[in-house]
Amino acid sequence: MKYDLAIIDYQMGNLFGLDCALKHVKLKTIITSKKEEIMNSKAIILPGVGSFGKAMKNIKEKKLDKIIKEFHVEKKIIIGICLGMQLMFEKSSEINSNKGLALFKGSVEAINKKNKSLNIGWSENYCKSKKNEIKKLIHNKETYFIHSYAAKPLNNKIILAESTFDNINFCSVVKSNNMIGFQFHPEKSGINGLKILKLLSRKIKNNENIL
């Protein structure tokens, strides 16, 4: 493989900032929407800030949906961050109902349906158990969130961590089939986030599975 990690470029979000954090944890990255480069990477990351509908439109225009699914068939690591994580679900009720990439079963809904308020700032994450390495880095740790919508997985078993906003619990990390999605921004969560990225970096470089 030519690259450790391809940052999928669908023209949304702070790709430069994300790339800086990934380079900081020693990953050989490329920001791209080209199939050869994506398929030539050990792992991919779906970044994203903005609206679900617009993101899916950009993804389809560049035929990235098919490429990502092809990548998934090879059981290689896929990481989603914030909107990128939400896109991995089947659908979102944001603005008009939109279909997602359906890598995870479930939907994306407003955290607080009454006022659609923005959850912005640092919040703690909670894991039900802390058995593995990654949970240890997430449990009881504060990370940076900026979102109004959150994923509702069909199967609770894929929820790795939860957080709360306005006294409502929401899913902050999901994991299944060598894919992991973060509702928070590990690349903007200071030392707590960098530790998570370092672990992912090690796993990618050593060709290990996520769990």
Partner 1 sequence: MKKKVRIIPKVDVKGINVVKGIHLEGLRALGDPMEFSKYYYNNQADEIIYHDIVASLYERNSLNNLVRNVSKNIFIPFSVGGGLRNLNDIKNVLKSGADRVFVNTAAINNPNIINEIVNNFGASTLIVSIEVNKYQDKYKCYTDFGREENSIKLFNWINEIEKRGAREILISSIDRDGTRSGFDVDLAKKITEISDLSFIIGGGFGEIRHIHELLDQSNPSGIYISSALHYNTIDKISKNITNTKGNFEFIKKNKIDKFKKITIKDIKKSIF
Q: Give the catalytic positions in this structure.
A: 82, 185, 187
199 touching partner 1, by CB under 8 A: no
53 touching partner 1, by CB under 8 A: no
184 touching partner 1, by CB under 8 A: no
Among 115, 132, 156, 209, which residue interacts with partner 1 (rule: CB under 8 A)?
A: 115
Query: Contact 127/135 with Cβ under 8 angstroms?
Result: yes
3-state helix, strand, coil in the chain (%, to 5): 30, 30, 35
| Tokens encoding 118 | 């923005």
Among 16, 73, 96, 206, which residue interacts with partner 1 (rule: CB under 8 A)?
A: 16
Spell out, one character per residue from 54 to 93, where the chain touches partner 1: x when CB under 8 A holds, - when not.
Answer: ----------------------------------------
Long-range contacts of 31-36 (CB under 8 A, 24+ apart): 31/6, 31/7, 32/6, 32/7, 32/8, 33/8, 33/9, 33/62, 33/64, 35/63, 35/67
* Interface residue list for partner 1 (CB under 8 A): 12, 14, 16-17, 20-21, 24, 49-51, 115, 117-118, 120-123, 144, 146-148, 185, 187-191, 193-194
